[in-house]
Copies of this chain bind each other. A is one copy, B any other.
Amino acid sequence: MKEMAKLFKALSEDVRLRILGLLCQGELCVCDLMAVLDLPQSTISRHLSYLTNAGWLAGERRGVWMYYRLIDDGGDLQQDLMAVLIKHLAKLPAVARDYARLTQYLKTKNPSACG
């Protein structure tokens, strides 16, 4: 019960939904998210911790960079919710704008950086 509420609570915030939306496209590191969402590093990092702690993300360190990706082996409930998220997030205008900015960003990004 607490666990279920915790899953939902993690989804109850705009920035976190935008992060999940972006990660539907594949893993990203903190600096990618900072660039695309245009938010301070501490804000991004805090939300990533929250999502990880709630069981939505997994982080992996590669050198100096931390890559985050969606967890695909959660419980039944979580998998059903993930399907709902994938289906509906992309429809949101704010998320569509983020996708566009991500595409643009990946094009111009220095290849020697994290990606």
Interfacial residues, chain A to chain B (CB-CB below 8 A): 1-2, 4-6, 8-9, 11-14, 17-18, 76-77, 80-81, 84, 87-88, 92-95
Residue of chain B at shortest CB distance from A75? B88
Contact assessment for A88 and B80 in the assembled complex, using a CB-CB cutoff below 8 Å: yes
Contacts A12-B9, A12-B12; A1 near B77 (Cβ below 8 A): no
Count the copies.
2
Alpha-carbon distance A5/B95, docked complex (angstroms)? 13
Task: Evaluate contact between B5 and A14: CB separation under 8 angstroms.
Answer: yes
Tell me whether chain A's interface is mostly helix, strand or loop, or mixed: helix
Residues of B within 8 A of A94 (CB): 1
CB neighbours of A9 from chain B (8 A): 8-9, 12
**A12, B8: Cβ atoms closer than 8 Å:** yes
Are the C-beta atoms of B92 and A1 separated by less than 8 Å? yes
Q: Complex Cα distance A18/B4, Å?
A: 11
